[in-house]
Structure 1
């Protein structure tokens, strides 16, 4: 470590601050001797609770950093950087102190519908405005303090991602709980202070659809700081007793589309973009046999700002598939020459889209969509990203060892586990069938499949 103002060892180094996980070679922190595992406690005397604090206090070209190194030694060091130079470190996580958890009682909460043996990270109900800005999580603002409000406004932390859901007070209380009014109060104050929001509505039958949805959209449209709204359908599992339906049947999905289209047309005419967007499930459910003819065009989604919420993923997949015509022709030849058959795993939600495209492609019969039912969660959970390892293993049992099975990487977290804590090896051992993880991007997984089959 570089020469410090003071250095001393002591049992039980102070907690707090952020742990470094990488140091760029030649950076100021590298020159000072920092390595992964060191913990940064403060900058210029200001303690660090999160990455936002770090960015705020380390904005200059000279800082004084308090640290604890990997040997348990604490110290302070002055660091310098050139104009425009990065400090050169990354932290282990965006939040260094405790994540702000949810205090609501939302009737649609998916995490309260998980199996009792679900791992702890899956049932953590965060409602942290910092993660909203840094990672795109949606927050209700019902736990926002005055200190939080002042920090957001002072630092102009914008846009945030907002769980709006509904606007009528009694409906909000019924859907969200007793703290719902505080969320709207804070929202209006933040909007008045110039903070902008990307909003989400979890549409729940009998609660916030129909007339209530129209009221909510009208209210939100009157607040220009609400940049756009994404509407996603209620997701429910078999591990609850409150819901038995969502918008999975044709008529229910069409009703939602018909409710939203007038606002989309009005916004398009007045603002130049639809402003309110429906999750792909609504179109898949409304047009199970003719989705490709009714799916909104690419330009409808603008910059795909709400892609991670399942809005525009199907359109992107279709566009990518259609742009890969030559690659598909080539892959068809390769599969034929190698006498190979490849099964690509999908959730049931992809049946109207990718399953149909594969059945109509030159690779038909060689690149085969294998649609897997989600028995682990049950209910109406049918997207590929929520598929579980055991369900996949059961679905592929009996497939010939001479064939190939590929799994989209969206099934796995960063540690390589599915939502039921299975790895690729676990799926292979349970099914007795070799499996390979590939990209979710069409051009990428087509290339990966060719490499897999040819063996180079």
Structure 2
């Protein structure tokens, strides 16, 4: 397959780019009583191939290890070892691998959140990935601009479906501009190739007023909906602008007016498409409703919530969970008062919920936090910093016995943007600080620390910003 521009990649300044994935998957740990232990494999061994096929990552490994006869080739120091293995097709090797190398982004998107981060944060917060494997494994959106013919063919041969693709605009000139490229960047040809091979695709648009809105958004929705059901869905989310935009392209912020205009446009397409193809297909990010002041729509508007992990419909799911659990909640099960920390947008729906809890004898307080760390225009809870939360806690006239943080404000290790932890905050205010779950009732009654891995599992603020507000 000949993919336009696949060989011509612009390396981002200061960001090394993995041009291609080299064979070799290192073993981090050998599990007890496993096939690997029986074979005397060791941590540090590097698996190079299975049945003659190179092993570049865990996907390659699992794809090629399912046979009943496997030839495994690995490197141990200066030695190369070969094992001929007979096993049940579903028998696992029993190892934990080292983290795989990541394909980094070669775009300079005009709205890129990572370019708007303050300096001197931990390195992973500046990590710009655009890796099709993360798209398949974790639902991360990718642009498809950095893939070789071989990588496109791998998506097809290994059935890496569904894929999640950042389209932003189907007009090549508009898309090229948004991605920060020097010329037009086509996406429909790449989507059509994957579709022709049976790959399903979810798509995304980051809504940038004055660039890909209006007729450009109409065109994008129509082009992608024409490819339904192979293109399964389109999520539209608003861009986020921090106060750190020196020397970056000038962009128009999303306002209440633009949110209303975007929703009117999206709803019109939904009403048309539900009649034409039996699905609404295009879905608006929760922030559009919260920032516009319109009520969050009912579950029927989300067609089964295909994009809930992208923050589309998550507030509706949160509200519905509350309604379902509230009648069975017993006030006597909550022995302490609770403060619910949230961003400016989250206050809109948390405060009425808190009022209903208090009416049942459960003492709760809502504490909205102004984002000084990134700027007042950042209003989602997924981008709250520890220093801002601490400032709000210390200035609050009343705190509960227990402080509950939103689940998406920490990474998979339980750390906030500025390296604060819930434990650090608790020590500062002499209160128990915990991370909640995506169920308010569960967070209040359970009173247990949520395992950080339940969140997005990605130390990536742009993704985190489009989780639950």
> What is residue 413 of structure 2 aligned with on the other side?
415
CA drift of 1:182 comes to 5.0
> What is residue 77 of structure 1 aligned with on the other side?
83
Whole-angstrom distance in 1 between the partners of 2:355 and 2:392:
19
> What is residue 13 of structure 2 aligned with on the other side?
none
Whole-angstrom distance in 2 between the partners of 1:422 and 1:112:
22
Which one of the candidate residues 326, 332, 356 is aligned to 1:360?
356
Asked if 1:237 is matched to 2:242, the reply is: yes
Deviations 1:21-61 (A, max 9, x none): 55555443343344665443321233311122112221211
Asked if 1:277 is matched to 2:273, the reply is: no
After superposition, residues 50-449 of structure 1 pair within 5 angstroms as: 50-68=57-75, 75-93=81-99, 96=100, 98-176=101-179, 177-178=181-182, 180-224=184-228, 225-241=230-246, 242=249, 245-249=252-256, 251-287=257-293, 294-328=295-329, 330-331=330-331, 333-335=332-334, 338=335, 340-361=336-357, 362-363=359-360, 366-397=363-394, 403-449=401-447
Q: 1:22 to 1:327 in 2, by over 3 A?
A: farther
> Are the counterparts in 2 of residues 236 and 243 from structure 1 also a CA contact under 8 Å?
no
Whole-angstrom distance in 1 between the partners of 2:272 and 2:400:
55
> Are the counterparts in 2 of residues 438 and 448 from structure 1 also a CA contact under 8 Å?
no
> What is residue 10 of structure 1 aligned with on the other side?
none
> Are the counterparts in 1 of residues 341 and 369 from structure 2 also a CA contact under 8 Å?
yes
TM-score norm. by structure 2 comes to: 0.82
Task: Say which structure, 1 or 2, has more relative contact order (CA 8 Å, 6+ apart).
Answer: 2
SS in 2 for 1:311: coil
Count residues in correspondence: 423
Deviations 1:278-326 (A, max 9, x none): 1001111122xxx5xx322223323322112110110010011001123
Q: Which protein shows a greater Rg?
A: 1
> Are the counterparts in 1 of residues 338 and 400 from structure 2 also a CA contact under 8 Å?
no
CA drift of 1:138 comes to 0.9
CA-based RMSD of the aligned residues comes to: 2.8
Structure 1: where are the runs of 5+ without partners?
1-14
Whole-angstrom distance in 1 between the partners of 2:386 and 2:84:
50
